[in-house]
Amino acid sequence: MITFDQLDTELQALENPNTIKIFRNHGCPDSLDLYGLKIGDLKKIIRREKLTKNHELAVELIESNNSDLIYLGLLAVNPNKVTTEQIEKWNVAFRETWSQLTFGLASIVSKRDDALLFAKTWIESDYDLTKSMGWQIYSEHINNLPEAEALLQRAKETLQSESNRTRYSMNGFIITCGIYKDDLHEKAIEAAKSVGKVHVNLGKTSCKVPDAISYIEKARNRVN
């Protein structure tokens, strides 16, 4: 079975300066080491080494100081074997880093039975990336979310006063309501109109914030 050091050596040998530059521009801080591997490459390693069956190694990767190793661990770890204490520990570790890591952590939490408890707590956080994770989790649970309408109203009323990445995830929540909740479609369109253009600092990139109204309508047209 492959070890942490062997994986680290393999990833280091695949270091990609161009991708490193892209990831730094997207917000990966200098405080984290970075080899610049693409997600597809990491997934190949997971399949080859059956890392989803090596929970202890996945945790060791997550608790390293290299963004690629951390994300590899987040992709491989078993959400139901992770403790609440570990999740909160990782939240503290990642909440001032960058969105790739918090996106990965939120994806893990979303697969757990207690996901909405984290979302409820995290949207009240003082940390932008933690709040963003809370809204991401809510979006991923849109089909079994009794409080969806209340959250949509909150997004409508407060999005523009929220912090940077939180605005992005709240905009995503409005879009999710508009696409997947027939009973909230019109209210999501109304919320998007009320909010107006959403500005988010996405780093030194050409990425743009999706326009909620056009995104909802295009997605609905594809479904119908």
Together in a domain, 8 and 49: yes
pTM: 0.95
Q: Report the C-alpha gap between 61 and 203 in whole angstroms.
A: 26
Residue pair 174/210 in contact by the 8 Å Cβ criterion: no
Together in a domain, 137 and 202: yes
Select from 43, 77, 111 the last residue of a domain. Answer: 77
Residue with tokens 């999005």: 159
Together in a domain, 112 and 207: yes
Looking at the domain assignment, is residue 131 inside a domain?
Answer: yes
Looking at the domain assignment, is residue 10 inside a domain?
Answer: yes
Together in a domain, 206 and 144: yes
Together in a domain, 109 and 21: no
Together in a domain, 73 and 109: no
Together in a domain, 14 and 115: no
Looking at the domain assignment, is residue 38 inside a domain?
Answer: yes
> For residue 222, what pLDDT is reported?
80
> For residue 196, what pLDDT is reported?
97
Together in a domain, 166 and 196: yes
Together in a domain, 117 and 215: yes
Residue with tokens 């190793």: 69
223: confidence class by pLDDT, cuts 50, 70, 90: low
Looking at the domain assignment, is residue 92 inside a domain?
Answer: no
Range of the domain at 51: 1-77
| Both tokens assigned to 9 | 């050596």
DSSP label at 145? -
Question: How much of the chain exceeds pLDDT 70, in percent?
Answer: 99
Together in a domain, 71 and 128: no
Together in a domain, 3 and 104: no
Looking at the domain assignment, is residue 85 inside a domain?
Answer: no
Q: Report the C-alpha gap between 42 and 149 in whole angstroms.
A: 37
- Give the angle subtended at the CA of 74 by the CAs of 174 and 5, to the nearest 5°: 160
220: confidence class by pLDDT, cuts 50, 70, 90: confident
Q: Report the C-alpha gap between 23 and 150 in whole angstroms.
A: 35
Q: Which residues contact 165 (CB under 8 A, 6 or more apart)?
A: 99, 102, 128, 129, 131, 132, 200
> For residue 221, what pLDDT is reported?
83
175-198 pLDDT per residue, tens: 999 999 999 999 999 999 999 999
Together in a domain, 71 and 113: no
Domain count, the chain: 2
Looking at the domain assignment, is residue 91 inside a domain?
Answer: no
